[in-house]
Amino acid sequence: MIKIEGVSFSYNRRDDALSEVSLDIEKGSWTSILGHNGSGKSTLSKLMVGLLSPSKGSITIDGLVLNEENLSKIRKKIGIVFQNPDNQFVGVTVKHDIAFGLENQCIPHDEMKQKIMQYAKLVNMEDFLDKEPHQLSGGQKQRVAIAGALAMEQDILILDEATSMLDPEGTLEIIELIKHLNKHLNKTIITITHDLSFAAQSDHLIVLKDGKVILEGLPKDVFKEEDLLKSSHLELPFELAIFNELVRQKPEDKKLLEALWAYNSKM
Amino acid sequence: MNNITIGQYIPGDSWLHKLDPRIKLLSLVVLLVATFFIPISHELIPLVSMGVIFLGVMALTYSTGIPIRKVLNGLKPIVFLLTFTFVIQVFYVKTGDILASIPMYISLTSVLGIIIFIVFYQWSKKYVRFKIIYFFAAVLMVFVLQAYLPYVPFTSYTLDIHTDGLMRALFIFVRITNVIIMTSLLTFTTMTTDLNFAIEALLRPLKVIKVPVDVMAMMLSLTLRYIPTLLGETEKIMKAQASRGVDFKESKFKEKVVQIISLLIPVFVISFKRAEDLGNAMEVRGYVIGAKRTKIDEYRIGFSDLATLFISFVILAIIIVVKTI
Amino acid sequence: MGIQFKNVGYAYKGFKKSYDAIKNINLNIESKGEFIAIVGHTGSGKSTLVQHMNALLLPNEGNVIVFGQQLPPKKSEKINYLRQKVGLVFQFPEYQLFEETIIKDIMFGPKNFKETSEHALESAKKAASIVGIDESLYEQSPFRISGGQMRRVAVAGILAMEPEILVLDEPTRGLDPKGRTDLMEIFREIHEKEDKTIILITHDMDLVSEYAKRIIVLSEGKIVFDGKKEDLFAHPDFNSYHLDYPTPLKILKHLEETIGLPFVPKYDFTSLLEYLKGVNHE
Task: Give the nearest partner residue to A246 out of C254, C258, C276, using CB atoms.
Answer: C276
Q: Which residues contact C47 (CB under 8 A, 6 or more apart)?
A: C169, C201
Average pLDDT taken over every residue of chain C: 90
Which has more pLDDT, B147 or C228?
C228
pLDDT tens by residue, B49-107: 888 888 888 888 888 888 887 888 778 888 888 888 888 888 887 777 777 788 887 88
Q: Is the pLDDT of residue B200 over 90?
A: no
pLDDT tens by residue, C101-122: 999 999 999 988 877 889 999 9
- Torsion angles phi and psi, residue B213, rounded to 5: -60, -40
Which has more pLDDT, C279 or C14?
C279
**What's the Cα-to-Cα distance from A53 to each of A71, A211, B295, rounded to whole Å?**
11, 16, 31
The dihedral of CA A109, A114, A119, A125: what is its sign?
positive
Using a CB-CB distance cutoff of 8 angstroms, which residues of chain A are in contact with residue C273? 242, 245-246, 249
Task: Give the nearest partner residue to B224 out of A86, A92, A113, using CB atoms.
Answer: A92
Q: Is A260–C177 a contact, with Cβ atoms under 8 angstroms apart?
A: no
pLDDT tens by residue, B227-247: 889 998 999 999 999 999 888
Q: Which residues contact B84 (CB under 8 A, 6 or more apart)?
A: none
Give the pLDDT score at C96: 93
User: Exposed, middle or buried: residue C226 (CB in 10 Å: 0-12, 13-18, 19+)?
Assistant: middle
Q: Is A194–C177 a contact, with Cβ atoms under 8 angstroms apart?
A: yes
Task: Give the nearest partner residue to C112 out of B240, B245, B270, using CB atoms.
Answer: B245
Q: Which residues pair with C214 in a beta bridge?
A: C36, C228
Which has more pLDDT, B291 or A187?
A187
The per-residue DSSP string of C181-243 comes to HHHHHHHHHHHHHH-BEEEEE-S-HHHHHHH-SEEEEEETTEEEEEEEHHHHHT-TTGGGGT-
How much is the average pLDDT of A211-232?
Answer: 87
Is the distance from CB of B193 to CB of B224 less than 8 angstroms? yes
The fraction of chain A above a pLDDT of 90, given in percent, is 48
pTM (predicted TM-score): 0.83
pLDDT band for C281, please (50, 70, 90 cuts): low
CATH of domain A2-223: 3.40.50.300
**Residues listed for chain B:** 325
Q: Is the pLDDT of residue B42 over 80?
A: no
Q: Is the pLDDT of residue A169 over 60?
A: yes
Buried/exposed B268-287: b ≥16 CB within 10 Å, e otherwise? ebbeeebeebbebbbbbbbb
How much is the average pLDDT of A124-146?
Answer: 92
Task: Give the nearest partner residue to A36 out of C176, C206, C255, using CB atoms.
Answer: C176
Max CA-CA distance within chain B? 80
**What's the Cα-to-Cα distance from B254 to each of B199, B258, B260, C101, C107, rounded to whole Å?**
43, 7, 10, 20, 17
What CA–CA distance (Å, rounded) separates A123 from A140?
9
Give the pLDDT score at A253: 83
pLDDT tens by residue, C44-59: 889 999 999 999 999 9
Q: Is C83–B250 a contact, with Cβ atoms under 8 angstroms apart?
A: no
How much is the average pLDDT of A134-139?
Answer: 90
Using a CB-CB distance cutoff of 8 angstroms, which residues of chain A are in contact with residue B1? 134-135, 137
Q: Is the pLDDT of residue B2 over 50?
A: no
Using a CB-CB distance cutoff of 8 angstroms, which residues of chain A are in contact with residue C178? 36, 233-235
Task: Select from C37, C178, C249 the least CA-distant residue to A242.
Answer: C249
Give the pLDDT score at C199: 96
What CA–CA distance (Å, rounded) separates C108 from C120?
8
Using a CB-CB distance cutoff of 8 angstroms, which residues of chain B are in contact with residue C82? none
Q: DSSP state, C78?
A: -
How much is the average pLDDT of A9-26?
Answer: 87
Q: Which residues contact A221 (CB under 8 A, 6 or more apart)?
A: none
B7-21, B75-89, C205-219: which has the highest mean pLDDT? Answer: C205-219
pLDDT tens by residue, C265-275: 888 888 888 88
The crossing angle, in degrees rounded to 10, of helices C247-259 and A238-249 is: 60
pLDDT band for C260, please (50, 70, 90 cuts): confident
**Alpha-carbon gap: C47 to the closest alpha carbon of chain A (Å):** 14
How much is the average pLDDT of B264-286?
Answer: 94
Q: What region, left, alpha or beta, does residue C24 occupy, with left being phi > 0 and alpha being psi -120 to 50 degrees?
A: left
Domain C3-242 is classified in which CATH homologous superfamily? P-loop containing nucleotide triphosphate hydrolases (3.40.50.300)
pLDDT band for C128, please (50, 70, 90 cuts): very high
How much is the average pLDDT of B252-273?
Answer: 88
Using a CB-CB distance cutoff of 8 angstroms, which residues of chain A are in contact with residue C254? 259, 262-263, 266
Q: Is the pLDDT of residue C13 over 70?
A: yes
**What's the Cα-to-Cα distance from C32 to each of B41, C25, C42, C126, rounded to whole Å?**
79, 21, 28, 21
Give the pLDDT score at A78: 93
pLDDT band for A162, please (50, 70, 90 cuts): very high
Q: Is the pLDDT of residue A191 over 90?
A: yes
**Alpha-carbon gap: C176 to the closest alpha carbon of chain A (Å):** 6
Q: Is the pLDDT of residue B6 over 70?
A: no
Choose the mutation target among A76, A86, A112 for the interface with B, i.e. most B CBs under 10 Å: A86
Is the distance from CB of B113 to CB of B142 less than 8 angstroms? no
| Residue B32: Cβ within 10 Å count | 16
Give the pLDDT score at A256: 84
| Residue C15: Cβ within 10 Å count | 8
Q: DSSP state, B40?
A: P
**What's the Cα-to-Cα distance from B224 to each of A134, A158, B84, B229, C116, rounded to whole Å?**
12, 29, 35, 10, 44
Choose the mutation target among C15, C41, C81, C96 for the interface with B, i.e. most B CBs under 10 Å: C96
Is the distance from CB of B263 to CB of C114 less than 8 angstroms? no
Please give, one letter per residue, the 3-state secondary structure of B226-283.
Answer: HHHHHHHHHHHHHHHHHCCCCCCCCCCHHHHHHHHHHHHHHHHHHHHHHHHHHHHHHH
pLDDT band for B226, please (50, 70, 90 cuts): very high
User: Chain C within 8 Å of A244 (Cβ-Cβ)?
Assistant: no
Give the pLDDT score at B8: 76
- Torsion angles phi and psi, residue C226, rounded to 5: -150, 105
Q: Is B237–C96 a contact, with Cβ atoms under 8 angstroms apart?
A: yes
pLDDT band for B1, please (50, 70, 90 cuts): very low
**Domain coordinates of chain A in residue numbers?**
2-223, 237-267
Helix, strand, or coil (residue A200): coil
Choose the mutation target among A37, A39, A163, A197 for the interface with C, i.e. most C CBs under 10 Å: A37
User: Exposed, middle or buried: residue B146 (CB in 10 Å: 0-12, 13-18, 19+)?
Assistant: buried
Give the pLDDT score at B321: 84
Torsion angle defined by CA atoms of residues A256, A258, A259 and A262, in that order, rounded to the nearest 10 degrees: 160
Max CA-CA distance within chain C? 72
- Torsion angles phi and psi, residue A187, rounded to 5: -75, 145
- Torsion angles phi and psi, residue B102, rounded to 5: -115, 125
Sheet holding A2-9, edge to edge: A18-25, A2-9, A56-61, A64-65
